[in-house]
């Protein structure tokens, strides 16, 4: 009798506890993936075998890619991501994860000069509308939570923008997906974000009640669109 094959694996690189893979994680579990989470910042964690997981997902966090002197795990994480990309194996980067991907590909990551926090329209470029991003729609409200931005790596194309931050997404072939914004958010999880970022919101005089109301309005539709978007990308990456 033939033994069942091992489940496909998704390695989740997590930088802050309340930011998880959200609807992307839900979809992966539905598709039979085993999710393994590592926290690269912990001294006991060493990243190795970048080609081993079927998928790598690099999540967000409140640090800068350029702060290697303050957060010594950053160079190792960049190296791991760079090796993964060189192997042409599927990887998704969200927010900080996208910035780490950009740096691994030799692009500049730097403060944008503003804090883009909350729901605002995401506009797809002409190139973006030819990719799975089209399933998110263009001009629809999207959750943003970042202060840094990146240059688009050499040879690649910007796929999305907002009125304040022009570079919001890029793809590397069919295997690399970098997103500055947060399509993975679950509506029911958003209170964790408000609590986790309470100090930043208070410092910047951003009313959490407004963000909460906006999420209740826009979140459910985004969950539906994001499910279709992630499904299409995973399919094109040969994972489902």
Q: For residue 236, indicate whether it is catalytic.
A: no
Mean pLDDT (the chain, rounded):
96
Selecting among 19, 184, 197, 223, the annotated active-site residue is 184
Selecting among 15, 73, 146, 182, the annotated active-site residue is 182
Helix (H) or strand (E) holding 196: helix 190-196
pLDDT greater than 80 at residue 7 = yes
Count the Cβ atoms, other than its own, within 10 Å of residue 36: 10
Helix axes 96-104, 74-86, angle to 10 degrees: 70
Q: For residue 144, indicate whether it is catalytic.
A: no
9-236: CATH topology is Rossmann fold (3.40.50)
Residues 6+ apart with CB under 8 A from 49: none
Per-residue pLDDT tens over the stretch 84-122: 999 999 999 999 999 999 999 999 999 999 999 999 999
Count the Cβ atoms, other than its own, within 10 Å of residue 49: 10
Domain chopping of the chain, boundaries: 9-236
Q: For residue 184, indicate whether it is catalytic.
A: yes
Counting DSSP H helices and E strands in the chain, the numbers are 6, 9
Selecting among 95, 146, 197, 223, the annotated active-site residue is 95
Per-residue pLDDT tens over the stretch 35-49: 999 999 999 999 999
């Amino acid at each position: 009798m033939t033994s069942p094959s091992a489940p496909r694996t998704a390695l989740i690189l997590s930088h802050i506890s309340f930011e998880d893979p959200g609807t992307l994680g839900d979809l992966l579990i539905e598709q039979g993936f085993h999710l393994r989470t590592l926290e690269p910042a912990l001294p006991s964690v060493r990243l190795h075998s970048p080609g081993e997981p079927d998928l790598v997902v690099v999540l967000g966090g409140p640090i800068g890619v350029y702060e290697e002197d303050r957060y010594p795990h950053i160079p190792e994480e960049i190296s791991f991501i760079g090796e993964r990309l060189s192997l042409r194996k599927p990887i998704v980067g969200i927010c900080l994860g996208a910035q780490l991907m950009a740096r691994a590909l030799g692009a500049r990551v730097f403060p944008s000069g503003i804090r883009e926090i909350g729901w605002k329209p995401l506009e797809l470029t002409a190139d973006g509308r030819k990719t799975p991003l089209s399933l998110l729609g263009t001009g629809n409200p999207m959750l943003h939570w970042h202060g840094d931005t990146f240059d688009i790596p050499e040879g690649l194309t910007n796929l999305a923008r907002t009125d304040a931050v022009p570079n919001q997404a890029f793809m590397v072939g069919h295997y690399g997906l970098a997103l500055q914004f947060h399509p993975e958010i679950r509506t029911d999880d958003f209170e964790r974000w408000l609590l986790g970022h309470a100090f930043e919101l208070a410092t910047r005089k951003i009313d959490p009640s407004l963000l909460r109301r906006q999420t209740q309005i826009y979140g459910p539709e985004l969950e539906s669109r994001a499910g279709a978007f992630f499904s299409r990308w995973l399919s094109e990456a040969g994972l489902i």
